[in-house]
Structures are given as C-alpha cells and as structure tokens.
Amino acid sequence: MPAVVVQQAYTVKWLIYRKIGAVPKRLVIILGPTAVGKTDYSIETALRYGSPVISCDSRQIYREMSIGTAVPSKEQLDVVRHYFIHSHTVTELYTAGKYELEALELINRLFKEGHDTLVMAGGSGFYVDALVNGLDEFPEADLQLRAELTERLKSEGVDSLRQELRRLDPESYSTLDIANGQRVVRALEVCLMTGKPFSSFKTETRKKRDFEIEKIGLIRPRDVLYDRCNRRVLQMIDDGLVDEGRSLTKYRDLAALQTVGYKEIFDWFDYLDGKVSTEGWTPTTPGDGPVTTLERAVELIQRNTRHYAKRQMAYWRRDKDISWIEL
C-alpha cells in the first residue's frame, strides 16, 4: 500500500475523532527488516506528529555498540529526541520483559505530558510483541545454566541445541525462530531448569493497553533490500567496525554480542590471534570454515544480514494488523 494512502487513512480517522472531541492516545509502530529505511521514515513521521522516536531495537539499546548496530547518526539524533538508544550497558541482562515495563512507563509518561500520538520504530519482533501484547510469565534466568548453554552454542553449534530442544519441547521447536541461537538457548534453559516444556509457560493471553496501536510495515523489492544490506555492511567497515569489534572482544560471550556483524569479526580475530587453524581444511570443505581474511568476514556479514532480513519478513508476515508500505 502506498505511504500516502496509509497516511490519508490515518488523517481522515483523526479528523473524525477531533470533530467529536474524542482524540484517543495512539502509538504508531514503524517496523520492518534491517536496512529497509526505518530510521529516516520514523524521523519524518515523528516530526509530523511532534513526537519523539521510541526505539524497539534489541541491540541499539547498548551504549558500547554503535557501528555494528546501525545506531542513528548524531545528525539524526539531533533532529528528534530518541529513547532506548544507548540507554543500557552490554553487561546488563536486559530482556524483552524489562523492555515491556520500561517502554510502557515511558509511553504513559509522554502521553500525560500532552502527546496524542507517539512514534516507535525498530525491527526486534520480540520487543514489539512484548509491548503490544505483553509477555507470559517465565521463570527467572539461571545465569550459570545460560552460560553453560551459551558455551555449548559456541562450541557445538546451534543445530546440536536445536535437536535437544526438539526432544524436550517439540512445540517450541516448531514455533520458535530456531535459527536464532539465543532463543534456542533461552527455551532450553527453561526446559532444563524447570523440567517442563518452554511452551507450557505460554498462555497467549493478550494484555489490554490504554492506547490505540497502529503498525506500519516497510518493505522494498527483495533485490533492492539485499543490495541495501550489502552496502550497509561495507559502510560499517568504512566507519570502523573492525576497531569497534576489537574494543568489544572482552564482552564477546555476552548475549548482546551474539549479533550479526560482531560474531563474524570475532571469528576473524580468532584466526589472526592463532586460536583457530586451517589444518585439514580447504576452500571446498563443506561449511564456512575458518574466517581467514577481512574480505571473508565481510562476505559472511553480508550473507547473514540478508538471511536475518528474510527471517524478519517471515516473522512479520504472520501479523495481520500491519499495514504494509513499499518504499
């Protein structure tokens, strides 16, 4: 649907509300895959409504990470006030549940200060779902068990953990984004800690919010989106992703750093530091093999970024409440 059509529909609706003297509070959520153009679109929308931008990106919240997370530029941040950008540290165990509570507190405060419409933007589906629908009550994290599972993820790969999840909780295996290693780790953590399936804690009960929610999804033709993904990665390298990665190596085992862009750079560092060997490996060996050059790291980041964008679109396509706009 063209952007102008969506905006006209919202405008007509709000004129009717104003005419009858009952303008409800509204949260406009701008979402979509990585590199689609959410930042610019959200700033334009926020300026139209006199709103700040509330980020719902699960990586841009971390103040130690900037280049690899494509945080808005200083110029963009100067145009409109942003929340949940560089608001937390990577050493903090931050969850979607915490985000739900903190974001709701902020939204309610901003509405009380006089805003009728607020703008939220980001691509982290779990954060958006937490804010829109609320989360079920899950057990508190077992940090020791999570550390052990994270180490297994690193040493054995995600497929080993996926098969264990399949055995312990077939329902979660069939419904979770099992390509996301951290989601698999969390589901396994709950299974092993409680002796119950992770899926048994999900009630699917939607929490009522005291404001209207409208979701706008941004899309581009696949070849255009993938080209934007590729060019964004090259720009990150030019902007200093390698140096940023070096500064974060001491945090590499934390959940926040299990992120496309950083993982591949860390693998390259391991080769440079002599922690991995190419012995017995040739370019024809199945799988990725050791990351022996920066060029190979860049190729992998580009590929994995495209794969991530594809998974995001598959996730969002299931949501019938989204009005899609092709840019």
- Each of the 327 residues of the chain gets a pLDDT tens digit; together they read 555 445 555 555 555 555 555 668 999 999 999 999 999 999 999 999 999 999 999 999 999 999 999 999 999 999 999 999 999 999 988 888 899 999 999 999 999 999 999 999 999 988 998 899 887 777 887 888 888 998 888 788 788 898 999 999 988 887 776 667 778 888 899 999 999 998 887 766 788 999 999 999 999 999 999 999 999 999 999 999 999 999 999 999 888 898 899 999 999 999 999 988 777 665 544 456 789 999 999 999 999 999 999 989 988 888 999 999 999
**Structure tokens given for 267:** 């693998």
**Structure tokens given for 122:** 């980001």
CB atoms within 10 A of CB 187: 27
Q: Where are the domains of the chain?
A: 3-136+209-222+312-326, 143-201, 223-309
Angstrom distance (rounded) from CA 20 to CA 299: 56
CATH of 3-136+209-222+312-326, one of 3.90.870.10, 3.30.1360.200, 3.40.50.300, 3.40.50.2000: 3.40.50.300
* CB-neighbour burial class of residue 72 (10 A; exposed 0-12, middle 13-18, buried 19+): buried
Angstrom distance (rounded) from CA 100 to CA 208: 13
* 3-state SS record for 27-70: EEEEECCCCCCHHHHHHHHHHHHCCCEEECCCCCCECCCCCCCC
Let me know if domain 223-309 sits in CATH 1.10.287. yes
Spell out the CATH class of 143-201. Answer: mainly alpha
